[in-house]
Structure 1
Amino acid sequence: MAKKLLVDVDCGVDDAQALMMALASPDVEILGITCVHGNTTLENVCKNTLRVLKTCGRLEIPVFRGASKPILGVSKDAGFFHGADGLGDVPDSNAPGLEMVQKEGAVAGMIRIATEHPGEVSLVATAPLTNLALAVRIDPTFPQKLKALYIMGGNTESRGNTTMCAEFNFAADPEAAYIVLNDYPCPVYIASWEFTCRNKLPWNFCHDWLAQDTEKARFMARIFQHSMKQANSERCQKEMVGDDGFASCDSYAMAAAIDDSFVIEYDTVAVSVELTGKYTHGMMILDFLGLLEKKHKAFILKTVDMERFKTLMMNALK
């Protein structure tokens, strides 16, 4: 039976890579893609998502417009890394128009889809968690209807890539991350920043990946140029942990959702998010001591099958 997915994105380059991985998997059915502020403006996220779907010949998948800013505070963006438009600043005059976005809002769409398929839908969140936080506030039963939640976000060793101690998706809406980590009782799998850094793909793999003679590979090569340059900048080198190479951050969460054999080992631990620290606002905290007395524990990805990952990545651009 096909795996049913809902995907929540702030469509930058690695969201595009994750989406293309799912779209290329024959036993995966994407029921909807919800858009949220993050790497770029909400309008750009909607446009970028439609561009990815068009490249993959899958414009029949509904795209929903979600929150344009965080629950509190000021929006952050990742234009430095993904380009101001989120996809490397290589405009496409033939991109689908925003009239293709659903009239129904993202949060209403999420709740409706989960209600229509109770216990069957896995939600993959590769963006700030604003839409998910709003969904559980509007319908507290929403998380119980999900099969599982897969998140790319948070950090396990206080290695920040946006603030000193916080990863971008959590730093962009710490309050939403707090709500989700505390109010979603379904199984929650987290691909943290440090985990993605320690499981990079070698650059020579990246070159072979982009050299495939397909329209998808040519599209990815165009939108990825800007980020590939930035990956070698002094700023990115400071953020990175582990060896040199490229980390398609969002794709790890997607791989876990679509392939049960991908994750070999994870830490099972209660998690939350720091909301008041001067330097640690948005940092994910791991309660190995059990002081929070939370029954619900998250699965933090630890060891994965990288050969399996390479296959999924290659297939994404075939």
Structure 2
Amino acid sequence: MAEKLLLVDVDCGVDDAQAIMMALAQPTVQILGITCCHGNTAIDNVCKNVLRVLKLCNESKIPVYRGAASSFLGENVGMADYHGSDGLGGVPDPEAPALDCIQEEHAVTAMIRIVSEHIGKVSLVATGPLTNLALAVKMDPTFPQKLKGLYIMGGNMESRGNTSVCGEFNFSVDPEAAYIVLNEYSCPTYIATWEYTCRHKLSWEFYNDLVNQDTAKAKFMKKISAHSLKFSQSEQGIKELVSGSGFVPCDSFAMAAAVDNSIVKEYIECGVSVELSGKLCRGMMIMDYLDLLQKKHKAFVMKTCDIEKFKTLLRTALK
């Protein structure tokens, strides 16, 4: 059995695909299952996209489960076209696996079962809205205690938004789910926020070298990234970043930390929560630096990254 056991929950857009490929490329990592959630695109597209990535990587044996199709309150913050009409750049593959390859078991019950079969050994990596995770803890309050750790891409450190004024996309899509997870998960929790990913943006020169490797995986990534690349280099795309233009593979930062914990050089340890009220701040992650919330469980919010190690993981993913 591999050294690191992962369960991966995704809303499979381009950056989720990249994160999945990163984990699959590591011989010390075994993905026990991939659960799908609404977010970057509709749930059926998410499922199809995961199957497509697994086929490309010759890993179709990994089970894929269909999960939540909408947020707790059913609100629609807008499935942004950033990842294209289907979540993978709007460049479908007519030979991609069909939805009948999805497991019959629901994603949430699969999560509970898989983790219960490997108590204390599985790390859960969540790169989309946290709806499935919130449902899991409501169905089984002991679920978080059975995890080795939780790695989240989402939230923000300084109220910088990319979907609303103060809200990061994954948390803004389902604020109630994010609130439940940050307040009810007692396992070690590691968070790659929007600002963390932006502050470790990579150069476009690196991106070009990455996707121009002469491999099927690199060609696939270049093809599905073309749509979002145009927005990333636009005036609005640059405005959303913390400082200046660059390549920001958001979800891969959370996955990298789960794959190799030495990637993150520095954390901020403090209580965190999510704002559920207000016109401007709904969905914003709260960092309780003053410990006024008196939370026993503190999260580890990523602060600095070993960028060279991170680049190596990205390159290996596309070889």
TM-score interval, normalised by the smaller of the two chains: over 0.9
* CA drift at 1:242: 2.1
Q: Any idea what SS the aligned residue of 1:208 has?
A: helix
Structure 1 residues 9 and 77: CA distance shift in structure 2, 3 A: farther
Question: In the TM superposition, what whole-angstrom CA distance separates every residue of 1:4-51 from its partner, at most 9, and x where no partner exists?
Answer: 000000000000010000000110000000000000000000000000
In the alignment, does 2:139 pair up with 1:143? Answer: no
Return the letter of the residue paired with 2:168.
E
**Mean CA deviation greater in 188-197 or 67-76:** 67-76
> Matched residues in 1 for 2:122 and 2:92: separation?
34
In the alignment, does 2:182 pair up with 1:178? Answer: no
Within a 5 Å distance, the mapping from 1:31-50 to structure 2 comes to 31-50=32-51
Q: CA RMSD in A?
A: 0.8
> Matched residues in 1 for 2:16 and 2:261: separation?
20
In the alignment, does 2:99 pair up with 1:115? Answer: no
In the alignment, does 2:287 pair up with 1:286? Answer: yes
Q: Any idea what SS the aligned residue of 2:19 has?
A: helix
Q: Is the 8 A contact 2:238 2:244 kept in 1?
A: no
Return the letter of the residue paired with 2:225.
F
Query: Structure 1 length normalisation: TM-score?
Result: 0.99
The aligned residue for residue 82 of structure 2 is 81
The aligned residue for residue 242 of structure 1 is 243
In the alignment, does 2:147 pair up with 1:156? Answer: no
* CA drift at 1:77: 4.4
Structure 1 vs Structure 2: percent identity of aligned residues? 64
Structure 1 residues 151 and 176: CA distance shift in structure 2, 3 A: same
Within a 5 Å distance, the mapping from 1:1-318 to structure 2 comes to 1-318=2-319
Q: Is the 8 A contact 2:232 2:245 kept in 1?
A: no
Q: Is the 8 A contact 1:65 1:106 kept in 2?
A: yes
> Matched residues in 2 for 1:294 and 1:288: separation?
11
> Matched residues in 1 for 2:171 and 2:97: separation?
30
Q: Any idea what SS the aligned residue of 2:214 has?
A: coil
* CA drift at 1:79: 3.5
Question: In the TM superposition, what whole-angstrom CA distance separates every residue of 1:71-100 from its partner, at most 9, and x where no partner exists?
Answer: 013233444210011000001100000000
Q: Is the 8 A contact 1:38 1:77 kept in 2?
A: no
Return the letter of the residue paired with 2:81.
F
Q: Any idea what SS the aligned residue of 2:202 has?
A: coil
* CA drift at 1:238: 1.8
Q: Is the 8 A contact 1:198 1:243 kept in 2?
A: no
Q: Any idea what SS the aligned residue of 2:247 has?
A: coil
Query: Structure 2 length normalisation: TM-score?
Result: 0.98
Q: Is the 8 A contact 2:133 2:181 kept in 1?
A: yes
Q: Is the 8 A contact 1:188 1:298 kept in 2?
A: yes
Q: Is the 8 A contact 1:40 1:77 kept in 2?
A: no
Q: Any idea what SS the aligned residue of 1:261 has?
A: helix
**Mean CA deviation greater in 74-83 or 133-142:** 74-83
Structure 1 unaligned blocks of 5 or more: none
Question: In the TM superposition, what whole-angstrom CA distance separates every residue of 1:243-269 from its partner, at most 9, and x where no partner exists?
Answer: 321110000000000002101101001
> Matched residues in 2 for 1:196 and 1:160: separation?
13
Structure 1 residues 7 and 188: CA distance shift in structure 2, 3 A: same
> Matched residues in 1 for 2:300 and 2:243: separation?
22
> Matched residues in 2 for 1:206 and 1:238: separation?
20
Q: Is the 8 A contact 2:65 2:106 kept in 1?
A: yes
Structure 1 residues 82 and 128: CA distance shift in structure 2, 3 A: same
Count of residue pairs brought into register by the alignment:
318
Q: Any idea what SS the aligned residue of 2:262 has?
A: coil
Return the letter of the residue paired with 1:199.
H
**Mean CA deviation greater in 76-85 or 115-124:** 76-85
Return the letter of the residue paired with 2:317.
A
> Matched residues in 1 for 2:275 and 2:25: separation?
37
Q: Is the 8 A contact 2:233 2:245 kept in 1?
A: no
Return the letter of the residue paired with 1:83.
G
